[in-house]
Structure 1
């Protein structure tokens, strides 16, 4: 068995992958940053019948496989659901493995950590369940589960502990801003394009305080929108204009940074709440002294968006490119709103 552990799980006090690694004689635990872990795993030789244990609904259920279909080596990802998906995304070799899944019929017992649903299992529980299907003759697996349950029970019975019961998150909790339950006319969604920096030189880009060249925004209810092209030497570059999908004729409408700042301030209302895609977008407003109110960074909101959320964005005008980017942000926020209702 090979356990691929997300680096943020390594020092968690109730890391069950560490317990599994210490308890099983043929178990290897690899932990690193995603890129380095991918490189390390790429060089690892696996069995021809190795399989990835992953809750893919299209994967066969492990307990339903015949003896000759059973994998003889398991690869297990250890981390939160979000972390597991980033490892799956960043490690190409995982895509070459057959997937197998479990079908738990009872809730997981990891009650001191919050799981995405009641049947989600800890790494230890998933490993034991998988091995019971692959190696039913192996004795002692129940002892591993018993030790795990005692650890959970001891922790929950300790009144001095601040570990909470594993309860389903209430809608509107987690880190979804409560402002989304309010008036959509007061929610402003914005996206900005910036001047190009030196390619690959992030430190230089930070020092440059790159200026916005295009800024667009809309109120969530669609009642009002904002669009502004800002004067910049970068707009003289045809390649840059093509990258932003801005036509040459539009450049004549570009305004000064001061004029943009005044227009943007006029568009905003005192009780608005501003949402941007990431902190670097908010920094564009800071760079030209147009940060008239705090902004909420969508990238900092931890939530799994449906895979098809942006599938019907093709009808959005792609010229300029920012229109589609803004439409995607609006879809994200409307999805967040739906989770708070």
Structure 2
């Protein structure tokens, strides 16, 4: 069993794919951006009888399959129905696989999340139904369903009676900037390292107008990256480079401030919003005359999981959010934290 999880689903507190992945001995869960998933699947080896659980006119009903028609490897998409459609759309290899569907005899029990119709199933329920069709003798499937039902009941016990209208669940709620609800491809997350401050009497002093020396950014929902090392006397300081974890290849590709501005402006689109965590990062763009798009800072965003002014590192650790740094630079690590936080906010 292979579960392909949409990136926005991995942070959802009621996600059931994690339960399935932990409960089944022959199960693998992969969560990446759609384009990265497509690349990864092109390199993966599958069984000759691999299939995907995905409804449609060409999908075969699993309960009507003969033993010879049973797939011996099944792919399940984890996310909302919209997420599943985007995964199918963006991963060409999935489009070529045989499709299978379920016909639930009764409504799903995933009452703590909105579903597109009364018979929609959670990933856990769909997995159990598929396994019962393919492997009727698999042990403890009913135990897994019982654990799922208990989880749902507990959530209802602790939730307020009007939980569906709770402001914290409402798209565009006051605590989360509305721009984060828009098309992900118009969101560019960014982080910049600033030049080293001067030393006065043995103590470091920040430059009056700090400029960026290393800038990295990523467009959500795509594989578009931006990275630039910008000419600065600070880069001659070995200790400074070590602190930023810059490597020789970063220094070999240094560009002028003017070239940085041109490249950064070319990367941005008219509809983009640049999202940073700290106001000082936004100020770097302003100081470099490179603030070509609206900029949103997230440090002041106040949610139950992220108290106002709280540390981003602390939030990542406390919520066990997965991060995927592009390389070993300090900027890449911090940008990965920012991406995890943005995806977290988009799911609230």
Normalising by the residue count of structure 1, what TM-score does the alignment of the two structures yield? 0.49
Largest Rg, 1 or 2: 1
Higher relative contact order (CA 8 A, sep 6+): 2
The two structures have a TM-score, normalised by structure 2, of 0.48
